[in-house]
Structure formats: structure tokens, C-alpha cells
Structure 1
Amino acid sequence: MFSKLSRSLSLLLVLSFFFSGDSFSQSARKKKYVINGYVGGYRGTPVNIDEIDANKLTHINYAFVNCIDSMAVLSNLKTDTVNFRLLNQLKKINPDLQILISIGGWTWSKNFSDAVLTPTSRLLFAKTSVNILRQHNLDGVDIDWEYPGQRGDNNKFRPEDKVNFTLMFVELRKELDNLSTETGKKYLLTAALGASKNFIANTEMDKVAKLLDYLYLMTYDFGGPNGTVGHHTNLYSYGQGGTSSSADQAIQDFIAAGVPAHKLGIGVAFYGKAVDAAGVENNGLGQERVRPIAGTPSASSGQAGGYTKLKESVINQNGYTRYWDKQAQAPYLFNPDKKVFITYDDEKSTKLKAKYVKKHKLAGVFFWEYFSDPEENLLNVLDKTLN
């Protein structure tokens, strides 16, 4: 059995026989829309690039680089450096592919507020971030601060985060421009942003948007309004009055805050989330959400997972029935015996998100996380719809 990498290289060799020069690689693979996949290295394990289909991606965000003592730090230095080398090999298949480091994430956002507090600390953070690109021949920096001006995962935060968030990008852009002067190459500056009105209120999005190439709205990990069971990655708002969070509402809010549509990307969840419902009415949707007791497994524990797992062993199996919410344009599963509700993206909702990108002239899509759907069910939809 050939690996995906081996098959792709073989195909490239065959096609190069028929196409002269590198005009084929530069034109046939160039995509109009961003398809950006997060590839996780935060566990400290090597990335298996044989399982990554480089031709279906425009960007890879390597997650994550830590932020410690006002510096960008490779906490898994040994595997991170190996992974950078391996990911760069994918450019042999897709020369247009760009590899970025993503700094932060839910767990490693604790020190951002301190790191960008003063001109000196911001300069140090920017220089150490860009030095990682310089040392490993990478293509850009993505910031995933969860969240400026908010507690997040019990993070330190302060009112100054609002302005300092902007000043951080100013400094990063200066350092990236310095690197461009050295190499003659353009480097990307992007950010993953909380898809909420609170995030907008705690930032200066009109100023930030001028500094960034792309702004990726994390249109997942939503929850039902007012403590109810609801969707986590729905395209449209739902419920009475349509007041829930949604990708569409987030896009509208960020555009109103001064972000150009052509710089915005929406998130596709390659994983599901399982929650416990108090009742079975309406197949769990809109019921009171039962919060698990700390240290005690609940019925929903371990019931979700990546989309490949859901498709192979959960959807319309083992007591779970699939339903479609027309208002939210999102699927969900419900097991009435366990009172477990699972919210996720599938092929249908993913295609609708991709069509939304085209209709509203957005930059494209991004997704968390590549290896949550190793069968590429959802990536195939994105590739086909956005080509």
C-alpha cells in the first residue's frame, strides 16, 4: 500500500512528464480560497505527513508554540523541530502550501497579557516568534490568544489587553518585514479569534484588521443559549428569536467592527462535542444542559470525538439518531436512553459553510484539527466545493 505522500509524489512525477517547467505546479494547484488546517504538535509527538493531503490545503497552522517569559518558546523542542522539517517536505507536493506557527491556544494563552504589556516585552515576543520562522524556514505567525481582556483558561488578563493586542501585531509585522528584507519573501501574519461580541468589545478589530493577512473566526465551541443544550458549530442562529451564537452572526459582527470580508475565514469543526440533556423533548435540543459533577463521569463522557469516529461508529448507531436543524443548518445526534446530545459538522453542513464563503466573498475556511478526520470526509468536501 502506498502512503498518501508516496501516491502524491508518484502522481506528480507522471504529470510532470506532460507539463513543462513548473507552470503546472504554480497554476493547477493555486486555489482561490483559503483551506487552512491546524496540525497539532502540542502533545510532543511526531507528525505523520503521509496522512496529510497537501494538495487539498493552502495553509497549515502548526499548533502550538508556547508563550513563556515574553518569548515564543518551543516547549516540545525535539519533536517540534522534526515536525517543521517534515511539514516543509509537503511543499514538494504542493509548492504553494504555506506553514505557519500558531502561538497560544486554550492552554498556552496564560502569559500573553504579560508578554505584550510593555514595548520591551512586545519586542522580545515579536523577535522570538519571527526567529522560529528564520531558523526553520517557515511562512508566517498565527496568534491564538484565548482571550485578550477575558479570563479564558484562568489566564491573567487586564484592561490594557485591548490596546496591547493591537500593539503586539504592530511589532510582529515590523519583525516580519525585517525578515522579508533579509530573504525577499513575504511572510503571513494571521490570528484565530473568538467568534463573539465579547471578543470584539475587548479588542480594536478595525486597527488589527489592517495589520493581518487573515482573521480566522473560531466558529465552534459555541453552546446553547442560557445554559441549554445547543449546537457548537452552527452556521446560522436558531431558537426562539434566533438569538444563539452562529458563524453567520460572527461574520456580520466582525464586518460591522471594521474587518473586510475578504480577510475573514470561518471555522469547521472536525470533531463533535457531547453534552448531557435534562430531558428528551425535541431530541434534546433546547433542553436544560446538565453539568457533570467534577471527578464523576457523566453519560456524555467519551461519546463524541473526531468526525471519522462519529461516522464509523456513532451516527445512526448504538442508540444515536441523526437529526438536522433547518434553522441552524447543522446536524446533531441524540440518544434518548442516555440523554446525550452530540453536536458536530458533517459533509452537508461543511458544504453549506463553503458555499457561504463563496456567497459572501470571504477569505476561506480553516479547521481544527487535521487528524480528527483521517478519512478526509470533510476535507474532501472543502476541496471540491472551494476549488
Structure 2
Amino acid sequence: MFPKRLLLCLLLLGCMTAPALAEPAVQAAARPRVVGYVANGEQLPDIDPRKLDVINFAFTVVGPDHRVRFPDALGPRTVDGLVALRKRNPDLKVVLSIGGWGAGHFSEAAATPAARQAFTDSAMALLRRHDVDGLDVDWEYPTVGDAGISASPADRDNFTALLKSLRQALEAQGKVTQRHYLLTIAAAEGRFAAGLDLPRIAPLLDWINLMTYDFYGSATPTTGHSGALYPSAQRRGEGRSADEAVRYFTQAGVPAAKLHLGMAFYGRRFGDVQADQHGLLQRYASDGGFISYRRIVDERLTEHGFERHWDDSAQAAWLWNPSTAQMISYDDPQALRAKVAYVRRHGLGGVMFWEYREDHDEDLLDVVGEALDAPMETGS
């Protein structure tokens, strides 16, 4: 045992060196969380709030003045409608998501203390005005200008400083209201995470929503699994998968319990596809864009020329139309069950999906919920 005097000195030293910000708890929830993005719109969809733990409103944006605001008059009404869902599920959390693909002005808003303060103050004003439970920063991506937004090598340190400013403001507000306010980000792996100083930002965050989808699309030379859980055995050379993304973040020191695996409630379309392997990992001549799961079901594509195929190595599904040479990569119920099993097996904090309006009568959301409540699977 320590002598009492030495023990007292160690305790005092610990108090003096304790971090200024309390790190959010990292232990995995007893039941992994379900986080769903709900896009702004004319009408609020008929959401059953008992099926979700967190709803992320998409999106607020950053203006040239560094301030966070709604993009239109619909936003406040949509957010207030989402907050009202807490009457039916008091445990539901509603979070304001800031940004999205192609949303700019982040680099400038993070660049100086004054700009970060404007960002923080305006975001907190919205949080208080609409009584939401936190903020989700969806900057795609610090130091990377792929979406046509400004980027700088300084984004890496500046983003850390911005998140620290937000966490301090959320903690101060929490002391007033006796609530814990969430701070999360959306992120992708690899070069898209080059601007994330993960060892420094992970302690500031409640969790990270991994965008483990859009692995293949208009920017890739071939078709492929948009949201593969594992690498396909047919994959040649470089590629991406959800498992590789999780490993990227955990190897960087992010606790597994702070990671939410992303799911897509939509598919990626490819046209004029070469016919080998039923269109999988083949060259294509036209990009068909996106298609919601709702449309896949409503238009009964599998009854109108499309064949469903399953890649056991990737744990991913796709549709192939040999007559029209069209391929659709998507997360179907079997793929979602495999992802939920992965989350539970590896102790991840939960799942995230984009986007509620793309579902068909909550069919996919129900699949996720049933998989979370099913007996645990065994295996690697």
C-alpha cells in the first residue's frame, strides 16, 4: 500500500493534470443504438419514434459569415416536428446535423478563434431555440476538396479546435439544464479521414457515424458493392469495405463503442455495364445515379427484368438486368442483418443509416430492429 502522504500527493497531482473536458462514456450500450438521418422536406414522414434512438436532422449549413443556419424556412418546422416525437418516445434524441456533401464554408469557419466562436455561438443558439439534444458535424471532408468546397492543410488542427469549442459550449449548457448534449461527426476512412486527428478528437466526441457506403459510384471506374461489409473475393486491387473502415478507426485509437456502422437505404445505379459476373466489378458507360429502396420495392424491379445476386464474401447484394445491362448495388435485408451481426460481434456502439425517407414503409428499419433483438450469432 502507498504511504498516506504519497497517496495524497498522487491524488493532488491527478486533480492538477485532469483534462478540462470530461470525455463522454465509451462503453457500448446494452443494445446498440439506431441513428437515422431524416432529411428536410415539405412534410414530416410518418416516423415511429420507438424504432430509433437518435434522429439526425439533415441539414443545417454554414454561411459565409461562419454562422450555422437553416437553409430554408422548412428546416425549423421539420426540426420542431422531430422534437415533438419525444412525446411518444421520451428517450429519443434529436440532433442537428451541420453540413453534408458539397456543403462549404467549414474551412473558413474553423480557421480562426473568432470564426470558430461565431460557428459555436450560432449552433448553440439553434440548439437552445429548438430544444435539441446535440450537434452532428458532417464536414465532407477536412483537408479534402473533392466536393468542390474550400480545403486547407490547416483544417486538421482547426477542426480539432472547432470540436473543442463545441464540446466546451455543450458542457456549459449541460450544467444549466442538467442534461448531457451529444457531439458527433460523420466520417469516412482512408484519405477522406486525412484531416481527422483521431487521437485528439475521439475524446471530444460521443461517437462517429461511419459513412460506410458509396464505396462505388460515379467516381469509380467499375461497378461494385456500394456498401460491402467485407472485401469481395472478386475485387482486384484497391477497394473499400465497412470492415476495413472500422479497422482504420480502431487502429487509430477510436474505441469500438464510439463507432456506428453506416447503412444505405438506397442503391447506386450503373448503366451500359459489361455482362461478366452479372455486372459486378465491370466497366460501365453511364451512371444511373441513386435509387431509393422504396422505389426498388414499389417498382417491383425483380419482377421486371432484374435478378437479385448475393456475394457471400462481401456479404452484399446487387441487382442485374441482363436485357438492359443495368446493375444496382444496394443494402437489402440480408445485407443489413449481416451488418447488425457485425456490430454486435465487434462491440460497436450502433448503426447509422441514410436516409429515413428512402425506406419503404420502415421495412428496412424493422429489419434492423429485429436483427438487434435476435439471439447473438456466433462466428468471426
Same fold (TM over 0.5): yes
Give the aligned residue type for 2:343: V
Q: Distance between the aligned counterparts of 2:332 and 2:126, measured in 1?
A: 36
Partner of 1:152: 146
State the Cα distance separating 1:192 from its structure 2 match. Answer: 0.6
* 1:91 lines up with 2:91 in the alignment: no
Selected match of 1:198 from 183, 191, 205: 191
* 8 Å CA contact 1:277, 1:284 repeated in 2: no
State the Cα distance separating 1:54 from its structure 2 match. Answer: 0.5
Partner of 1:311: 297
Structure 2 residue matching 1:96: 3-state secondary structure:
coil
Structure 1 residue matching 2:303: 3-state secondary structure:
coil
* 8 Å CA contact 1:279, 1:288 repeated in 2: yes
Partner of 1:285: 280
Structure 1 residue matching 2:34: 3-state secondary structure:
strand
* 8 Å CA contact 2:54, 2:95 repeated in 1: yes
Residues 369 and 175 of structure 1, relative CA distance in 2, 3 Å threshold: same
Partner of 1:40: 39
* 1:70 lines up with 2:66 in the alignment: yes
* 8 Å CA contact 1:40, 1:63 repeated in 2: yes
Partner of 2:172: 178
State the Cα distance separating 1:384 from its structure 2 match. Answer: 1.3
Deviations 1:266-323 (A, max 9, x none): 111001110124410111111113245xxxxxxx36xx52112212324422211100
Partner of 1:163: 157
Q: Distance between the aligned counterparts of 2:327 and 2:273, measured in 1?
A: 10
State the Cα distance separating 1:199 from its structure 2 match. Answer: 2.3
Partner of 1:338: 324
* 8 Å CA contact 1:270, 1:306 repeated in 2: yes
Partner of 1:211: 204
* 1:125 lines up with 2:119 in the alignment: yes
> Which deviates further from its counterpart, 197-206 or 145-154?
197-206
State the Cα distance separating 1:337 from its structure 2 match. Answer: 2.0
Q: Distance between the aligned counterparts of 1:361 and 1:321, measured in 2?
A: 35
Give the aligned residue type for 1:88: V
Structure 1 residue matching 2:85: 3-state secondary structure:
helix
Identical aligned residues as a percent: 37
* 8 Å CA contact 1:229, 1:277 repeated in 2: no
State the Cα distance separating 1:152 from its structure 2 match. Answer: 2.8
* 8 Å CA contact 1:261, 1:363 repeated in 2: yes
State the Cα distance separating 1:40 from its structure 2 match. Answer: 0.4
Q: Distance between the aligned counterparts of 2:246 and 2:211, measured in 1?
A: 11
Structure 1 residue matching 2:145: 3-state secondary structure:
coil
Deviations 1:342-386 (A, max 9, x none): 000011000110010000000000101101114111100111122
Q: Distance between the aligned counterparts of 2:220 and 2:336, measured in 1?
A: 26
Partner of 2:355: 369
Extract unaligned runs of 5+ from structure 2: 1-28, 374-380
Q: Distance between the aligned counterparts of 1:233 and 1:226, measured in 2?
A: 14
State the Cα distance separating 1:255 from its structure 2 match. Answer: 0.5
Deviations 1:143-187 (A, max 9, x none): 000111111321110100111111110000011111112211110
* 8 Å CA contact 1:325, 1:331 repeated in 2: yes
State the Cα distance separating 1:226 from its structure 2 match. Answer: 6.2
Residues 291 and 374 of structure 1, relative CA distance in 2, 3 Å threshold: closer
Give the aligned residue type for 2:152: R
Give the aligned residue type for 1:144: D
> Which deviates further from its counterpart, 215-224 or 256-265?
215-224
* 8 Å CA contact 1:31, 1:58 repeated in 2: no
Partner of 1:326: 312
* 8 Å CA contact 1:234, 1:329 repeated in 2: yes
Extract unaligned runs of 5+ from structure 1: 1-29, 293-299
Q: CA RMSD in A?
A: 1.7
* 8 Å CA contact 1:269, 1:367 repeated in 2: yes
Runs of 4+ in 1 over 3 A off after TM superposition: 240-243
Deviations 1:72-98 (A, max 9, x none): 01122x322222221122111111000
The count of aligned residue pairs is 342
Q: Distance between the aligned counterparts of 1:124 and 1:237, measured in 2?
A: 43
> Which deviates further from its counterpart, 234-243 or 90-99?
234-243
* 8 Å CA contact 1:200, 1:254 repeated in 2: no
